[in-house]
Structure 1
Amino acid sequence: MPVPTSRVISTVNAANYQSAITSGAFISITGTGFGNSSRSWALSDFEGTNLPVTLDGISVSINGKPAYVEYISPTQINAIAPDDDTIGPVQVEVTTPQGAGYAGTILKQKLSPGLFTYRSGMTSYAAAIHLDGTLVGPAGPSSRPAAPGEVIELYGTGFGPTIPTMPTAQLVSQPVPTVLPVTMTIGGVAAEVQWSGLVSSGMYQLNVKIPNVAAGDQSIQGNISGFQSPATVMLSIASQ
């Protein structure tokens, strides 16, 4: 049997970096030999409103179903997991123009919520913005902390189905709310989630009101139907 020219090292939820995924969520696959180019999907990759299942001959299948490839590089692939009711271990496979590289298995769950993040120093902060578009983060030239009582926008993936149902294979044409309610804590204190929903393919937005918590970096964690995002993500809070 020929040895695959590509090798997969890990497959994770692209937001929370955990080894569990769900339908409609962004996943990130790292490895070697994934071609020579680096690019995201472009308008020419779409067939009407159908998401692309291959970029430059690179494709991904999850449990035998094609995933939707959003980004490729020689060492990383980002894709959106296809609709599939299967729960439990599923096979992931990457195919390149040179052949298939077996990626092993990953746990597929009903939900797999994660907040997208950015790093500043050694800290992982939630990718959140103020309503004026400014980044939420430590005070600096391009960011400022969130104030108690303020509403901010958070972004994540893996928060599940919507009303109405949106097929993962199709472009999201307008925001649609999640079926299940999302709860959020900041610094261990319940925060009001004013809206949660899908705003683009694989991408969820959560509008959250900051509760009265102490200034500084506070842990922020989402919960949907008992599935929690990691508590290691931080949010910068301004003094009152």
Structure 2
Amino acid sequence: MASTSLVPKASTWTPPASSPTTPASAAARRINLSPAFITTSSWSSARGEVSLYLNGRLVASRNPTDLGVMAAALNPDQLVRLFLDDDNEWAPARIALFRVYAGPLSATEIRDIYAAPFTSTIGLPKPGFQSSGIVNSASYSAANAITPGGFFSIFGSDLGDDFGDWGQSFVNNIAPRRLNNVRVLVNDQEAFIAFTSSSQINAIAPDNLPDGPVNVVVEYSTLRSTTVATQSRRINPAVFRYTPENSRYLAATANDGSAYIGPPNLFGTNGFLSGLALRPARPGEYVVLYGTGLGPTTPPVPAGQIPPPRTGGYPLSNSSEIRLTLNGQTTSVVPAYSGLSGFPGLHQLVFLVPDISNGDYETVLVVNGT
């Protein structure tokens, strides 16, 4: 079970500044490849290195100006993968796979490569994962991993090449169904993709899924995984932790946004996390927990959609059936708020911390008996 840390009341904290905006990803670079040379359209501004792979094996990682020497020894029809890193912490790595030509590329071939330089799948294995690799994104449990409108994660291999999230990909406040050329189907319905990498996908399940077995497929470009079965359940509550794999502390904030809730040295940062205070909760204050899979809301919000502003928010339809306990002591939830946050697939649970002694408290959330 997870714990919430509590200490006596203290002074009011100053509200945080606005969250920083994540810079947009760097533009993809165009690559023209032949057995004798590699040229690019914009290497003059590149700050990073390029790694050259032959048939999946790393050959060298050098400054772009040295790649011509490496390319001279290539043979026609050899598969070549380029890994481009712009040395920018916000920019996802770029990967391209091309077949070596016997001579210079024709104008048509160059145009084709320029139009889609990072979508070739020649020689790549199809995405692979198992039922045990489909889990609830908050609990990391494979039991009833999928909930309509809730977050789930897929762990496997060759799930895609680009590392990145959906930050710049919302259209009309709706999350992307295809991200970094990756698509996930649940019972042939498109999920909403939040994050992709070669080994992990985070997504929001579509609406209208049955309770019971469902089938999951991952598509990367033209590659399609085998169909993998898992379980879906209409309500399967889970609360996010600071580190899902092993942390005993729930991810929580003060209701006024002034602090993260947890032991001050949880991350070795001496009471701060991302510029905010990191401290135990205080009796008499409202604390926010973050979860997924808590069930539908009234009024309903379609899966993958940012909820439009609304007085009173989007409370859970079954909010009267929620119970939260700290070491067995029931605390009030209904008078506060339990429902969607301002983010797709993410629920909030706002509760009043009871007047109890300092310490770590086992926290249990029950929704509709689950």
Same fold (TM over 0.5): yes
1:115-194 matched pairs, under 5 angstroms:
115-119=239-243, 123-130=247-254, 131-140=256-265, 141-142=271-272, 143-174=278-309, 175-181=313-319, 182-193=322-333, 194=336
The answer to whether the 8 A contact 1:11-1:27 is kept is: yes
The answer to whether the 8 A contact 2:139-2:244 is kept is: no
2:193 and 2:340 mapped to 1: Cα distance?
18
The answer to whether the 8 A contact 2:215-2:230 is kept is: yes
Match of 1:211 in 2: 354
2:359 and 2:243 mapped to 1: Cα distance?
16
1:1-240 matched pairs, under 5 angstroms:
5-9=126-130, 10-19=133-142, 20=144, 21-43=146-168, 45-102=169-226, 104-119=228-243, 123-130=247-254, 131-140=256-265, 141-142=271-272, 143-174=278-309, 175-181=313-319, 182-193=322-333, 194-199=336-341, 200-227=343-370
1:182-215, CA deviations, whole angstroms, 9 ceiling, x for partnerless residues? 2211122111112111011001111111124442
Provide the TM-score with structure 1 as the length reference: 0.86
1:132 and 1:60 mapped to 2: Cα distance?
34
The answer to whether the 8 A contact 2:213-2:232 is kept is: yes
Bigger helix fraction: 2
Number of aligned pairs? 225
The answer to whether the 8 A contact 2:315-2:337 is kept is: yes
Larger Rg: 2
Provide the TM-score with structure 2 as the length reference: 0.57
Distance change >3 Å, CA 98–CA 162, structure 1 → 2: same
Shift of residue 97, structure 1, vs aligned partner = 1.3
Q: Which runs of 5+ in 2 are unaligned?
A: 1-122, 266-270, 273-277
The answer to whether the 8 A contact 2:166-2:175 is kept is: no
Distance change >3 Å, CA 65–CA 104, structure 1 → 2: same
Distance change >3 Å, CA 120–CA 170, structure 1 → 2: closer
For residue 339 of structure 2, what is the amino acid of its counterpart?
Answer: G
Answer with 6-15 or 138-147: which moved more: 138-147
1:92-139, CA deviations, whole angstroms, 9 ceiling, x for partnerless residues? 111111411125211111201111101499642111011342111113
Q: Structure 1 segments of 4 or more deviating over 6 A?
A: none
For residue 198 of structure 2, what is the amino acid of its counterpart?
Answer: P
1:8 and 1:121 mapped to 2: Cα distance?
18
2:160 and 2:324 mapped to 1: Cα distance?
40
Query: What RMSD over aligned residues (CA atoms) do the two structures have, in Å?
Result: 2.2
For residue 192 of structure 1, what is the amino acid of its counterpart?
Answer: S
2:317 and 2:184 mapped to 1: Cα distance?
28
Bigger strand fraction: 1
1:152-199, CA deviations, whole angstroms, 9 ceiling, x for partnerless residues? 111111111111111114322233111111221112211111211101
Shift of residue 3, structure 1, vs aligned partner = 10
2:201 and 2:157 mapped to 1: Cα distance?
10
For residue 22 of structure 1, what is the amino acid of its counterpart?
Answer: T
Distance change >3 Å, CA 216–CA 123, structure 1 → 2: farther
SS in 1 for 2:248: strand
2:247 and 2:138 mapped to 1: Cα distance?
15
Q: Which runs of 5+ in 1 are unaligned?
A: 228-240
2:156 and 2:209 mapped to 1: Cα distance?
27
Q: Percent identity?
A: 32
